[in-house]
Structure 1
């Protein structure tokens, strides 16, 4: 996420490394590199110029304290300006009405249907509401089927009218259905359209007039560059939408267009989406994103993700087992499962200050635990419960059963024992996650 921009900004700040003070010359050189970094990342020229002009003005007006290096001061200034560029503060989705109606609009291929499913899952799990998805894309048959599949995955019903070619009537009928069936949020997925397609643009305007949504979200593919900014402006002129959703940030190496949209349309970015999983949706926090762009990590989001998987009773039981030195491979496997539920592992690593930069060229996919899980699942119930019984012949059988080597089995057993000892020493609280992260280095 914004990897190229992060690298370029990091190089720009290094110009000030070792400098004794901020001067017109070194600030000008640094600002020039920052502007290049923004332009290369696809930030619009006007936005990049205004941004760096503000940075330069504030940098030259700063009296750098003896305890603060010029590079650190410039990083702080850029960080604060990035936060403002992206909106300043988080803006929550507005869910009001009975039912609340959320209209999803955007270009063809922007990821609207997938986002609609993710939003329904978010509203159901985080807001405690009862959403209804509406298949309003009558032009792409696969869109209706796709939404049905997503609805099944998250246990949210999908309203469809097979054969109907009138999305306005479908949306109106869906609201009546929602009222009659206890759904307090209606999410209308509309057909993808081109900004230059007048008939399609008029249609989405008609849907808006018919259902009077409390929230209109414009979904944009983060990888489409400056076209995304221009399209966002055209859609906003027609719909006056309430917020922007950035999709496909997991495949984005530039992402600067995302930084331009907020300035051009003056509408908040409300969500960012990365990956196909239904829980791969994050509320957009400008300050946290600025932290990540500048390689400072995002510990708050990481903790929030961990808390979502946190079970207080399970944690207490685990703490008791650790204190009694009874932590076993069943517990180990359970903790791996909880970490996997938190999301993409490389994305999680990027939330830890400094670690994301260290691991930028290391590919960590969702199969990072595959070998460990295979070894544990090849153990008998007795072996998982009491690892001490695993002798030479058992290790050979486990290796053969898991498709690994005896050396890999030995390595895991040693790391498990080291982790268990460490957890016993620190048994003032459950430390399973730390042990898991250590286990990843096998």
Structure 2
């Protein structure tokens, strides 16, 4: 697409955008005087759909009028409420319904999955992560190693090459080829939180499996952003949060994927609770534990309905629009964003996110030479909400559901004025 660096072009793109109406279905933040913020932090917390209040109020009303009977008599009975989310969530991440469940929060799910899939031996026990993995992932794998009697030093880092920011899949290949006999698990962020790089999940799975390593993926910055095609990729497991691109609210429940090839393996070690016991006999109460098949076999507890109601509101919107249309607009938005940043013509500004749209989601990470957090503060003073990451990167996410081309133009104009 041939872009133009002027406001009229941005407005014309919004006029022609078949998804532009979605913006009106979200609450766009405003200051106390009513001025609208330019919001570029959907990669940290997605905006609230206007329908969310209605979905939550429905459950509050049923709780008020039905009490405990809401488990069976509510408009959306609570007993199996999580099942309302499964099919739509599975479509978003490219999975079969048996492979997906919504439960707990992201790091909790990663730990529960590692209980099952990280099975170290004296010879094969090391864990591979990206060198700049999200801190929670690093802490999780370090604690798993220590729990099993190993050292934090048994983490192997997949690093960018000298003087670069992005990862090369060939370097992971070399790591696994040379050390695969000692590696038990690869736990990789499918979209890196810092650079926005979308990694080739299928190839990562093939590389790991070539040396009998288990492959897990953290999709915190991927779900609702890119199309990971988890089933086809062949990865063993994945987990993600829903409060970023899936717009489900702060601290809302997370998603979990376990590949179908593991669905009927009841011998996998796992922690048990009432909610991953066979639902047919769950209420008999005194039955020996009988784990459910598929991803539901990792549930432990009766889920929080109010959080699930917010997720349901969002997933219904995703299901209506479809990821294909969202990805198409996302590539146009980030393409325009990239074009405008390059038009600034400053040697002090560099986009560290991959140039290839197929290797990134809707986040662009902008490195500003000799900058510090004061730049972020100045953007805030100009009514632009971005996300600062040390030492010198502004993460910006023009989310296709609610960010306009005009937003992108205005944001870059403000940035240009500051640098």
TM-score, scaled relative to structure 1: 0.29
Q: Which has the larger radius of gyration?
A: 1
Q: Which has the higher helix share?
A: 1
Higher RCO (CA < 8 A, seq sep 6+): 2
TM-score, scaled relative to structure 2: 0.31
